[in-house]
């Protein structure tokens, strides 16, 4: 009887703990409104420049550097040790500080206080390095405890999109993408969004700089709903006469994309393309086909072996003219994504 009681304890304790996590997670689940005003500045000055430089980079919470694999992608890794995590963040900061001509910086997977990144406030670290006039943050991952993988749970997660610029934005608004995973999986997954910073232009127009991070690890249903929602938003804003650039991690390859890699291997596993007729041909999809922006995480990065793709790029409204695009090959040393630089001007 004594041993049977011990056996029951061994079985019941994990069940009780899991039920607590599930119940508390459900009750505390982050459910953002469709639109959240992050901040506003009615006195923001009108932009006087007509051409701009911009950077996008999914920094992967500085936990997915080239020596890492990841359990979601078929690997085994969950997070690096603290020294590696801090070194990755330092590498990101050093690279960003070398870009002294950037007007806008759009980051994805920036942690504020997460177990996986040792509770380092990466938003604040980047802000202190750049000293921007405008800082915007859109929460897209806020979970009190993620229990997967069971052998080394991700734990607390607080992460999102970080946008920085050298100019003051009139408003910054978080827009919630529609749809999510069903219960209970949705309790522990991201709440996807895009972040819109509005900069005043002459003639009562605005330049919209949009930071996006669309869904991954789904059958395409979530991505389609998100793209439909974004499509409506973009056309409405363009019809107002506004200028729009969208940049970020789309988790989709551009329509008709043909890689022009020198060494890397193109990832065609579960590939998803942007719809060819998503927008009229006057809109510009701006990407560099010669440099992969993302790698698969089933193994550590090995050039020519690891599968790579392009899912980080820009979309420009017809009243913006692209001036240049450059994918930056860092050999995925700090993140499973690589930065992409672009320049554009108002037509």
Instruction: Tell me if residue 116 falls in helix, strand or coil.
Output: helix
pLDDT in tens, 293-305: 999 999 999 999 9
Query: What is the pLDDT at residue 53?
Result: 98
18-32 average pLDDT score? 72
> Shortest CA distance to 67 belongs to which of 308, 332, 311, 339?
332
pLDDT in tens, 279-334: 999 999 999 999 999 999 999 999 999 999 999 999 999 999 999 999 999 999 99
Tokens found for residue 32: 């953002």
| Residue 135: band (very low, low, confident or very high) from pLDDT cuts 50, 70, 90 | very high
Alpha-carbon distance 48 to 77, whole Å?
A: 47
Strand (E) or helix (H) holding 224: helix 221-239
Is the entire prediction scored with pTM above 0.85?
A: yes
pLDDT in tens, 83-112: 999 999 999 999 999 998 899 999 999 999
Task: Answer whether CATH 3.60.10.10 is correct for domain 32-346.
Answer: yes
> Shortest CA distance to 295 belongs to which of 64, 55, 62?
64
> Shortest CA distance to 23 belongs to which of 144, 114, 123, 112?
144
Delimit the domains of the chain by residue range: 1-30, 32-346
- Angle formed at CA 21 by CA 180 and CA 74, multiple of 5 degrees: 60
Look at residue 30 and tell me whether its pLDDT is greater than 90: no
| Residue 272: band (very low, low, confident or very high) from pLDDT cuts 50, 70, 90 | very high
Contact 61, 116 (CB under 8 A): yes
Alpha-carbon distance 226 to 244, whole Å?
A: 18
> Shortest CA distance to 60 belongs to which of 51, 70, 50?
70
Strand (E) or helix (H) holding 67: none
* Buried b / exposed e along 184-208 (16+ C-beta atoms within 10 A): eeebbbbbbbbbbbbbbbeeebbbb
Alpha-carbon distance 132 to 164, whole Å?
A: 6
**Concatenated DSSP letters for 273-294?**
B--TTSS-TTSEEE--TTS--E
């Amino acid at each position: 009887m004594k041993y049977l009681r011990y056996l029951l304890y061994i079985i019941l304790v994990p069940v009780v703990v899991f039920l607590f996590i599930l119940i508390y997670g459900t009750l505390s689940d982050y459910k953002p409104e469709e639109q959240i005003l992050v901040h506003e500045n009615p006195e923001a000055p009108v932009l006087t420049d007509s051409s701009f430089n911009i950077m996008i980079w999914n920094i992967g919470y500085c936990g997915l550097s080239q020596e890492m694999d990841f359990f979601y992608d078929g690997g085994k890794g969950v997070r690096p040790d603290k020294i590696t995590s801090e070194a990755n963040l330092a590498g990101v900061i050093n690279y960003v500080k070398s870009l002294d001509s950037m007007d806008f910086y759009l980051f994805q997977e920036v942690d504020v206080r997460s177990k996986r990144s040792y509770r380092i406030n990466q938003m604040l670290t980047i802000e202190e390095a750049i000293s921007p006039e405008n800082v915007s943050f859109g929460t897209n991952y806020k979970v009190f405890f993620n229990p997967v993988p069971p052998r080394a749970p991700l734990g607390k997660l607080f992460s999102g999109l970080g946008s920085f610029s050298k100019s003051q934005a009139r408003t910054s608004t978080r827009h919630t993408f529609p749809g999510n995973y069903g219960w209970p999986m949705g309790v522990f997954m991201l709440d996807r969004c895009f972040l819109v910073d509005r900069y005043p232009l002459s003639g009562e127009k605005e330049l919209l700089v949009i930071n996006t991070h669309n869904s991954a690890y789904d059958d395409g249903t979530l991505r389609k709903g998100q793209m439909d929602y974004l499509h409506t938003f973009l056309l409405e804003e363009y019809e107002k006469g506004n200028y729009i650039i969208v940049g970020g991690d789309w988790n989709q390859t551009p329509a008709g994309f043909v890689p022009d890699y020198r060494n890397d291997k193109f990832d065609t596993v579960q590939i998803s393309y942007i719809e060819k007729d998503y927008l009229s041909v006057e809109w510009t999809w701006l990407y560099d086909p010669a440099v992969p922006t993302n790698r698969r995480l089933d193994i550590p990065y090995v050039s020519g072996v690891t599968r790579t793709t392009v899912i980080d790029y820009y979309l420009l409204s017809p009243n913006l003219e692209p001036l240049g695009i450059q994918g930056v090959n860092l050999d995925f040393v700090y993140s499973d994504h690589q930065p992409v630089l672009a320049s554009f001007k108002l037509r």
